Amino acid sequence: MGIRNLALCLVHIPSQSHTPQISDWKRVTVSQKPKSSGIIESFEPIEYAAKAYSLMKSAIDKYDPHAILIERQRYRSGGGAAVQEWTVRVNMLESMFHAVLYTLAQQRQSDFLVHSVLPRRVTQFWLTDVEEKMNARETKLAKIGVAERIIKQEEMYVDFNDEAKEVSQAFNQTARREARMKLDDLADSMLQGLAWWKWHVNRLQTVDEVLSWEKVIKKPAKSEPRRAQNKSTKKVSLLN
Cα distance between residue 16 and residue 14, in whole Å:
6
* Reported pTM: 0.78
| Higher per-residue pLDDT: 216 or 1 | 1
pLDDT score of 222? 56
Mean pLDDT of the chain: 79
pLDDT at 126: 93
Task: Identify the pLDDT of residue 230.
Answer: 45
Q: Would you state the pLDDT for residue 77? A: 58
At CB < 8 A and 24+ separation, what contacts does 43-51 make? 43/89, 45/92, 45/96, 48/89, 48/92, 48/93, 48/96, 49/96
Mean pLDDT for 27-52 is: 81
pLDDT at 221: 55
Distance CA 183, CA 170 (A): 9
Q: In this structure, which topology does domain 6-33+42-201 adopt according to CATH?
A: Nucleotidyltransferase; domain 5 (3.30.420)
Q: What is the CA radius of gyration of the chain?
A: 23
Mean pLDDT of 162-185: 72
Residue 239 has pLDDT above 60, yes or no: no
pLDDT given for residue 22 in this prediction: 94
Tell me which amino acid residue 123 is: T
- 184: confidence class by pLDDT, cuts 50, 70, 90: confident
Sequence ranges of the domains in the chain: 6-33+42-201
